[in-house]
Amino acid sequence: MSLKNAPRRLLVTGGCGFIGSNFVRERLAATGSGADTDLLVNLDLLTYAGNRANLADLEGDPRLQFVQGDIGDRALVADLLACHRIDAVVHFAAESHVDRSIDGPEAFVLTNAVGTFRLLESARAYWNGLAPEAKAAFRFFHVSTDEVFGSLEPEDPPFRETTPYAPNSPYAASKAASDHFVRAAFHTFGLPTLVSHCTNNYGPYQFPEKLIPLMILNALDGKPLPVYGDGTNVRDWLHVADHCRAIDLILSTGAPGEVYNVGGLNEVKNLDLVRRLAATLDTLRPRADGKPYADQITFVKDRPGHDRRYAIDCAKIKAALGWTPQETFETGLEKTIAWYLENRPWADAITETRYARERLGGVSV
Ligand code: NAD
Ligand code: TDX
């Protein structure tokens, strides 16, 4: 598929987070693919989840510019869009952790709903002033989640793009609110928007409050592996590199106003996943006492409102854009575990911060 119309001057929000930093790295590495990047401005507020170390290897790349700031700062965003003649916004920035949204929902409303609304307004004002050709080529890409569709029972068919919204957590509700503003910006004002709903991502640079890195690091530290409830909740796991490839493809070839579901085709029960992580670590980094890491599994109080199952039907993106995930869970998980083993100083630097200690301490012990 030709990427000749791919945008080349991007404003990426949340580029110091997990998926954003992987996207920035993949995007800058894609030179010569037809989706070359002339400039990538990374706007990130550096909340507890934002980490400049996630992009340390790219420091000095003349195509990458970091700006610390808020997506809701209209003057700043207006300036960045105009000064850098941006032709696409790729919006990752968010409060992203469900447990934190249960402890304190307001930050989720402010960042995910109000912040996205303000970013849309800034983008719309800039887009309105563009010449016709640039106006037609401009894109606003919103990274959403499968969680806006609610929870599936074991026998339910996976979520489609047309599945009605039924968000259950404050996080999901705030993402749903942002999706509705994106939809309205297209329908009412014609802003060329694109939306993706993806399943649980995994891979390098994920903040260690999320299931996979938390379990790997707790295992190595001899801490309990806290499985919520009975561990039968199901998630569909998508390698972050496959997600980034999907975003690139949608950005270059997706139709404005369209929504695409992106899934890993890889449903796993939480307890099975944790057992699998433990068994892989038994091989790669056996415990000093020779016992299995699975001995550290502890069942803890369930997450309130815990969604039973997520699964995505990605027939649309497959048929329309030719995307399918390339990573198998087996290879993806092994590479991911190896990455956390090799990058212990990266994780230690995070877990030593005050924010992380407060939260991670609360979850794991
Ligand atoms: P993350 O928490 O790792 O990173 C979020 C980033 O946004 C951080 O760098 C943070 O500093 C930045 N940020 C937060 N508030 C900001 C603000 N007001 N202005 C500017 N920057 C701000 O999140 P992630 O896991 O990389 O998720 C990225 C996006 O993908 C989110 O929109 C999330 O809802 C969505 N998503 C994530 C997953 C997943 O499995 N991680 C799955 C589906 C969808
Ligand atoms: O310690 C834990 N024990 C546990 O059993 C943690 C942190 C999680 N879990 C369970 C809860 C979920 O069923 O594991 C599953 C995955 O949990 P998270 O990693 O917190 O992800 P989830 O709640 O599924 O949401 C993720 O996927 C959708 C991302 O955090 C969201 O940003 C994304 O939108």
pLDDT at 354: 60
pLDDT at 6: 76
pLDDT at 2: 44
Ligand 1: residues with CB < 6 A are 13-14, 16-20, 43-47, 49-50, 70-72, 92-94, 96, 111, 115, 143, 145, 175, 198, 200-201, 207
State the 10-residue block means of pLDDT for the chain, 365 residues long: 70 98 95 80 97 96 97 98 98 98 98 98 98 97 98 97 98 98 98 98 98 98 98 98 97 97 96 98 97 98 98 97 96 97 95 68 41
Counting ligand 2 atoms within 8 A of each CB, the residue from 18, 19, 96, 98 with the most, and so the one to mutate, is 98
pLDDT at 351: 85
Q: What is the pTM of this model?
A: 0.96
Ligand 2 atom closest to the CA of 169, numbered from 1:
23
Ligand 2: residues with CB < 6 A are 96-98, 145, 147, 200, 210-211, 214, 226-228, 233, 235, 270, 303, 363
pLDDT at 7: 81
pLDDT at 363: 42
pLDDT at 106: 98
Determine the distance separating the centroid of ligand 1 and the alpha carbon of 133, expressed in angstroms.
Answer: 31
Ligand nearest to the CA of 54: 1
pLDDT at 34: 65
CATH number of this structure's domain 9-206+238-265+310-326, picked from the four choices 3.10.180.10, 3.10.28.10, 3.30.70.20, 3.40.50.720: 3.40.50.720
Ligand 2 atom closest to the CA of 310, numbered from 1:
24
Which sequence positions are flagged as catalytic? 146-147, 171
Report CA torsion sign: 30, 5, 63, 203: negative
Q: Atom 44 (ligand 1): residue with closest C-alpha?
A: 145
* % of the chain residues with pLDDT over 90: 92
